[in-house]
Amino acid sequence: MSRPRPRARAARSGPPRLVAFNKPMNVLSQFTDDTHWPGLGRHLDLPGLYPAGRLDRDSEGLLLLTNDGGLQARLTDPKHKMPKTYLVQVEGGPQEDQLEALRTGVTLKDGPTRPAEVTRIEPPELWERDPPVRVRLTVPDAWLSMTIREGRNRQVRRMVAHVGLPCLRLVRWRIGPYALDGLEPGTWRDLEPPRR
């Protein structure tokens, strides 16, 4: 006789809710603080919502939160291949062979990556970062728009470093149809959840 599987979280109360949050640098993608860094609870008082995915402490940008476990799975499960677009400031001047390597996929310690969509872009109009990006005056820097369809730990940083372009700043700009457009760091807004 099989037993029912326990639920990870209590059943959702109320209608499905989806929230976009612009996560500042040095904020954890969890509600509780740790010894050294603040969590989401310092910026959000949204009971019953949980992050759909993560952003590293030193990354900024779009973090989606929801009270719907099914939606959370669709946004984060690699089998759904939800595109995630990042604005990436790199040290150095990207050469076409470096960009092509990212476009075809690179092999990291945890295996080969899927191909990424990568283009060099003009510096985007973003908020000032606190602390500021450490830029060396003798070394050029550039911005890339990079879209991936998987979500390994620190994947974008590791991919650009693998091709010789250390990451200086990483901002997640878009997840599927949801974009950061106009959302200031530390602020949030409700989104229309997708229909099932």
146 in any annotated domain = yes
Annotated catalytic, 56?
Answer: yes
Quote the pTM value: 0.89
Boundaries of domain holding 27: 18-78+177-191
- Whether 5 is in a domain gets the answer no
Based on the fold, state whether residues 154 and 182 are members of the same structural domain.
no
Same domain, 171 and 182: no
Q: How do residues 124-177 score in pLDDT, each as one tens digit?
A: 999 999 888 987 888 899 999 999 999 899 999 999 999 999 999 999 999 999
Q: How many domains does the chain have?
A: 2
Residue 161: in which H helix or E strand, if any? helix 155-162
Asked whether residue 9 is domain-assigned, the answer is no
CATH code assigned at 35: 3.30.70.580
CATH number of the domain that residue 103 is part of: 3.30.70.1560
Choose, from 33, 34, 45, 56, the residue flagged as catalytic: 56
Tens digits of residue pLDDT in 32-50: 888 889 899 888 989 999 9
pLDDT given at position 139? 86
Q: Are residues 116 and 149 in the same domain?
A: yes
Neighbours of 166 (CB within 10 A): 13
Would 117 be classed as within a structural domain? yes
Establish if 152 belongs to a structural domain.
Answer: yes
Among 95, 115, 98, 89, residue whose Cα is nearest residue 163 = 98
